[in-house]
Amino acid sequence: MCKLNTIAGLAERVYTLEIINPQIFYGVNNTNLDIIKSKFPKLQFIARGDEIKVLGEEAELENFAAKMILLEKYYLKRGELNGHILNEVFGGNGLPEGTAEPEESDTLLIGTRAQKIKARTVNQRAMVKSATGSDIIFAVGPAGTGKTYTAVAIAVKALKEREIRKIILTRPAVEAGENLGFLPGDMKEKVDPYLRPLYDALEDMIPSDKLKSMIESRTVEIAPLAFMRGRTLDNCYVILDEAQNATDLQLKMFLTRMGPNAKMIITGDLTQIDLPKRQTSGLERAIHILKKINGIAIIHLNTEDVVRHRLVKEIVKAYDHDHKAVPAVVEKPEEEI
């Protein structure tokens, strides 16, 4: 991200390092930053944390900005940065030989541990591809298929590339043997356990201090599904996770929150419905009645997409093949009034 100001006759640009981890950008003992400074002797650099101020003449700043875009594009594709790359990019020769047009990659972004976050299976890649042409995506499949993780990665990438202004992550706060009212803490502390998988995915993709700041500024918003009622969600990516635990009315309410410049990803597993009896999941019906609408993509993931421990795939297959292996229904006593 870059902001333009003018100070004492010099133009100033303020860059926020969002795509490249600041530690990687600066290098050990600021060696990378020193290389960049040497390529632009007419510019002044003031670097603090993830923010860099650059002062100088407008033409020089434009040249530097173009090089930064090139560097970010390279890093997003390759996930590496070293002195050779910096010399090539900022020295006026473009990207290193043979990499001016990086090969097609499934990499979505570079994580907080410099790991490449990518679509790893056929149907995960279908999710990513659908995100470019569909404003609503349903991703349905068994546990461990990377539905939530891929959805969060798509949204974080869109945020980093400034396609949207915020990310909203939500889940139905369905009780699984415990009543929310009896859990300790305020509302945030009560619902956080339900949203933990979303936090885990975000922490893989955004440095913790940056994520904390983004949550405080509501650039990243995490809330129970009930909190969506009455809102219009615009210029954002909205992810509804565990949608099999949303009722028909809740899912309709959620989908109709969509503003003109919003995108939605709805994930769920129809084999793990935790709703109380007498309530039916709205996910299956939504998929059935919306499947022919242009702009809505429906991706079905399966055991071949399982990316957790190898045993998870075998466990899912075993349950699929044994139709008698159904969880026992435990009757709950009526609550006293």
* pLDDT value, residue 246: 92
Instruction: State the Cα torsion 323-305-194-111 to the nearest 10°.
Output: 170
86 neighbors 32 (Cβ within 8 angstroms):
yes
105 neighbors 118 (Cβ within 8 angstroms):
yes
* Arch. (CATH architecture) of 107-321: 3-Layer(aba) Sandwich (3.40)
Task: Write down the domain spans for the chain.
Answer: 2-93, 107-321
* pLDDT value, residue 114: 73
297 neighbors 130 (Cβ within 8 angstroms):
yes
53 neighbors 43 (Cβ within 8 angstroms):
no
Packing angle between helix 208-216 and helix 187-205, nearest 10 degrees?
Answer: 130
Nearest to 127 by CA among 115, 144, 113, 139: 139
Q: Where are the beta strands (DSSP E) in 207-303?
A: 220-224, 236-240, 263-268, 296-300
DSSP 31: H
3-state secondary structure of 51: strand
Which residues, including other chains, have CB under 8 Å from residue 321's CB and lie 6 or more apart? none
* pLDDT value, residue 96: 53
3-state secondary structure of 253: helix
- Quote the CA–CA distance of 34 and 27 in Å, as a whole number: 9
* pLDDT value, residue 104: 46
Q: Hey, what CATH class is 2-93 in?
A: alpha beta
Query: What pairs with residue 136 in β-bridges?
Result: 264, 296
Q: Which two tokens stand for residue 328?
A: 């026992």
pLDDT tens per residue across all 337 residues of the chain? 555 555 556 788 888 887 788 888 888 888 999 999 998 899 999 988 888 999 998 888 888 888 888 888 778 777 778 888 888 888 765 555 544 444 445 678 888 877 788 888 889 999 999 998 899 999 999 888 999 999 999 999 999 888 999 999 998 876 544 444 555 555 566 667 777 888 889 999 988 888 989 999 999 998 888 889 899 999 999 999 999 999 999 999 999 999 989 999 999 999 888 888 778 889 999 999 998 999 999 999 988 888 776 677 778 778 777 754 455 444 444 443 3
Is there a common fold for 2-93 and 107-321?
Answer: no
Nearest to 194 by CA among 210, 211, 180: 180
Instruction: State the Cα torsion 311-314-315-320 to the nearest 10°.
Output: 160
- Quote the CA–CA distance of 124 and 130 in Å, as a whole number: 10
* pLDDT value, residue 134: 94
- Quote the CA–CA distance of 310 and 133 in Å, as a whole number: 33
146 neighbors 307 (Cβ within 8 angstroms):
yes
pTM over 0.75: no
Q: Which two tokens stand for residue 181?
A: 């009212």
- Quote the CA–CA distance of 270 and 119 in Å, as a whole number: 22
Nearest to 46 by CA among 101, 18, 7, 92: 7
- Quote the CA–CA distance of 50 and 202 in Å, as a whole number: 18
Nearest to 297 by CA among 158, 172, 153, 123: 123
* pLDDT value, residue 92: 64
Q: Which two tokens stand for residue 13?
A: 């640009």
DSSP 308: S
